[in-house]
Amino acid sequence: MNSLICAIEGWAVALIVLCCILAAGLVVLFVLVPIKTWFVALVSGAHVSMARLVGMKLRKVKYKLIVDSYIMARKGGINISIVDLETHYMAGGNVDNIIKALIAAHSAGIDLTIDLAKAIDLSGRDVVEAIETCVTPKIIEVKHIAAIAQDGIEVIINVNVTVKTDIRELVGGAGEDTIIARVGKGVVSCIGAAENYTQLLENPAAIGDEILRKGLDDGTAFDIVSVDVADIDIGKNLGAKLEMDEAEKDRQIANAVAEKTRAAMVAEEQRYKAKTQEMKAAVLAAEAEIPKAIAGAIRDGKFGVLDYYKLKNLQADTAMRSSIAGIEQDSGDGEA
């Protein structure tokens, strides 16, 4: 009897231990394994092993995002492994974007491989937008391109550039800024080649045709579909302005030359005035010597007192005649 009781007690202990182990296992299972996510993937036809889910959880990967994207891919007919999605996520990529892009490309018949989609996404470009642009081309506005025609008239043009994405050139290809810069350069070249601005107004479509012939989309992530002139405005007559500026410059040069000549003539006039004053001074100096000479002649007996008085009378008579002649000359001038 005692042995039976001991046996029963042993079995009870074993059963309790087993229940504890099972309970602990269930607790660990529910803590480590996202049962709900695993079940959703299972019923969606995108089975993911529990070990994979536990590994992603331990690596702090957003397993729900990975599983949801994996389910979306399988539903969209994309043959991709969950390992690729997890690797792309850990590399810093946008898993949701590449799945959406792959589904859109598959529906539109665009040849987009998984590796290329991942590379485009990791390059920093929006792969979904790239696929949308492949299906529906986008318009890039290039505004206010100003240049001068050969007749000197400034022409201002706004251009709409219709482009679609070149998937093969998206990784490493130049972006919209390059397209805008090249188209702007092409428009400036077309304006500069026009003999006059009326040619551009008469046939604006020729500008777009010329730009398309230049192959400006080489090495870019886009194919240019069309280039359309949206607006043409006429700016300033820069040719006339340049001529006016040139004329003003010539006028200033002529004024400077004239001023230089006038200054030279004024200087020459002052020089002659100074020379005249020197001559007057010389005359006055010579006249000052006359009384001395007369006194010396009288002293030497070569010139008498009577002769001196005759000279004085002659001088007075000459002064009177000169005075009368001057008065008559002035009155004659007045009557004239």
How far, in Å, CA of 260 to CA of 295, rounded?
54
pLDDT digits (tens, 9 = 90+) for 10-33: 666 666 666 666 655 555 555 556
Global pTM value: 0.56
**Phi/psi of residue 229, nearest 5 degrees:** -80, 115
Decide if pLDDT at 302 tops 60.
yes
Of the candidate ranges 7-16, 181-190, 233-242, 257-266, the one whose mean pLDDT is the lowest: 7-16
* Interatomic CA distance for residues 62 and 92, integer angstroms: 12
For 212-241, letters b (16+ CB in 10 Å) and e give eebebbeebbbebeebebeebeeeebeeee
pLDDT band at 334 (very low <50, low <70, confident <90, very high): very low
Higher-confidence residue of 14 and 91: namely: 91
| Helix segments in 33-143, DSSP class H | 35-43, 50-58, 63-75, 82-90, 95-108, 114-122, 127-135
Count of positions (residues) in the chain: 336
pLDDT digit string, tens, across residues 264-283: 888 888 888 888 888 888 87
Of 91-100, 135-144, 293-302, 324-333, the one with minimum mean pLDDT is 324-333
Q: Which domains does the chain have, with CATH numbers?
A: 33-133 (no CATH), 136-239 (3.30.479.30)
**Percentage of the chain exceeding pLDDT 90:** 1
Classify residue 20 as exposed, middle or buried by CB count within 10 Å of its CB (0-12, 13-18, 19+). exposed
- Banded model confidence at residue 331, pLDDT cuts 50, 70, 90: very low
